[in-house]
Amino acid sequence: EREREREKKVVFCLLVEFIKKMALVVMCGQPCSGKSTAANCLAEALSATSEFHLTVRIIDESSFHLDRNQSYANTPAEKNLRGVLRSEVDRSVSKNKIIIVDSLNNIKGYRYELWCFARAAGIRYCVVHCDVEEDVCRKWNKERAEKGESTYDDKIFEDLVRRFEKPDSRNRWDSPLFELWPSKDGIQQTSAAIVSAVSYMTKKVDSKSRDVRVLQPTIATQTARTSEANSLYVMDRATQEVVNAIVEAQAQALGGPVTGISLDKQLITINIQRSVGLPELRSLRRTFIKLTGQSSLSGRPPPSDADGAKRMFVDYLNRELGTV
């Protein structure tokens, strides 16, 4: 028995350490600054050093067959691109993978959103910035065009350069910040920033660790998604019970009008002045759920208890079908 308990503790500790090594890496830099090369180098270095054999995945525009010029041609297209990448990160970040987001990530508000995903998942997070002068990026973009490689149109390139918001390590969503200088030092697995980033994401964490931070989810990030789903589930079940009670009461009355249906002593009595078919009841139920969801966006949230949901639905039916 003692041996089994010891084995369980060892497995548990390994599992905890495994989870702590999951991470989100945000690449950042001007267009044509070497981000993709750096992302690939980082992925290879992580795959080679990870003792837990974690899968390293790069999420970028090419993953979704998106053309860079079309994706940054205008504001709606750019918002759509960020939305696609953001959704994929949100779906992938909680899995047993190290996720590398290889995109411009040039807006600090967008980097903050990615940081929030990492915090909600309770994993490590860092930013790798490819710091290259604008003129060098411009030169590299032209050289790629001469080689027949994918490039940015001049107008789009200049617009992206102008709007770039450089990461600042003083911001929590830009920290820790590892900086590469591809135009000066090149990009290799032995580059200082790559080595530091790999060390940060694979280093063992314990109660004494100070140089590695695993983000901790807050109460808000833990419950925000489930509370809405729970309320909708309760609302769906409660309103269906009311509909079933009305249908059963009308069946017992042989299709005649029904008044004074009581679901519970504490609930409002259902007063219906005419016979109501099941299709109409279903339509009223759908409308009620929709209206309740819309009102929760600007007002108080829908009730999370069944009695409260039933009371609201009965009150709604009394207004629509009869008198209270």
Q: Which of 170, 190, 221 is the last residue of a domain?
A: 221
- Domain of 214: which CATH number? 3.40.50.300
The single-letter DSSP state of residue 32 is: T
- Give the pLDDT band of residue 321 (cuts 50, 70, 90): confident
Q: Are residues 195 and 303 in the same domain?
A: no
Q: Are residues 212 and 263 in the same domain?
A: no
Q: Are residues 161 and 293 in the same domain?
A: no
Domain count, the chain: 2
Domain that holds residue 306: 229-322
pLDDT, one tens digit per residue, over 211-255 is: 677 887 765 555 444 455 567 778 888 888 888 888 888 777 765
Q: Are residues 210 and 255 in the same domain?
A: no
Q: Are residues 112 and 216 in the same domain?
A: yes
pLDDT, one tens digit per residue, over 272-300 is: 777 788 888 888 888 888 887 665 544 45
Q: Which of 175, 193, 221 is the last residue of a domain?
A: 221
Least confident of 70-74, 91-95, 285-289: 91-95
Q: Are residues 146 and 51 in the same domain?
A: yes
For the entire predicted model, the pTM comes to 0.63
Q: Are residues 275 and 297 in the same domain?
A: yes
Q: Are residues 126 and 270 in the same domain?
A: no
Distance of CA 187 to the CA centre of its chain: 30
209 lies in some domain: yes
Burial class (CB in 10 A: 0-12, 13-18, 19+), 99: buried
Look at residues 238, 185, 252, 245 and name the one whose alpha carbon lies nearest to residue 37.
185
Phi-psi region of 292 (alpha: psi -120 to 50; beta: other; left: phi over 0): alpha
Q: Are residues 99 and 239 in the same domain?
A: no
